[in-house]
């Protein structure tokens, strides 16, 4: 699960975004990816170390709608499911018809 923060100022750096998240949540950002850096208001996709849905929702409630450097932030919690080839192979064997390979 990751946070998606949109509406960032155009010149926001990764360190500034990391400091912003830490300031309002005391959460440790594991990975930050800027999305649409050339846009007027880019976004950031942020992985928080050791966070669950409750933690991310708390951060979302604290930061959603706040103004930062004269830009209004929009924060969402995104769920990503890790689908590996091994998991897909297990699923196919469980759902295969009996007697068929």
pLDDT of residue 92 exceeding 90, the answer is no
Select the more confidently predicted residue: 19 or 82: 19
pLDDT of residue 69 exceeding 60, the answer is yes
Please report the domains of the chain, with CATH numbers, ordered by start residue: 2-95 (3.30.70.330)
Q: For all residues of the chain together, what is the average pLDDT?
A: 85
pTM of the model: 0.75
pLDDT tens digits for range 7-38: 999 988 999 999 999 999 999 998 899 998 88
Please state the φ and ψ torsions of residue 93, each to the nearest 5 degrees.
-70, -30
């Amino acid at each position: 699960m990751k946070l998606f923060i949109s509406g960032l100022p155009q010149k926001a750096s990764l360190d500034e975004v990391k400091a912003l998240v830490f300031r309002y949540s005391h959460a440790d950002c594991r990975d930050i990816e800027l999305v649409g850096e050339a846009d007027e208001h880019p976004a950031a996709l942020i992985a928080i170390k050791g966070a669950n849905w409750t933690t991310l929702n708390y951060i979302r409630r604290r930061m959603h709608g706040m103004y930062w450097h004269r830009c209004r932030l929009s924060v969402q919690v995104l769920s990503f499911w890790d689908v590996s080839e091994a998991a897909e192979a297990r699923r196919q064997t469980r759902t295969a018809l009996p007697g068929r390979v």
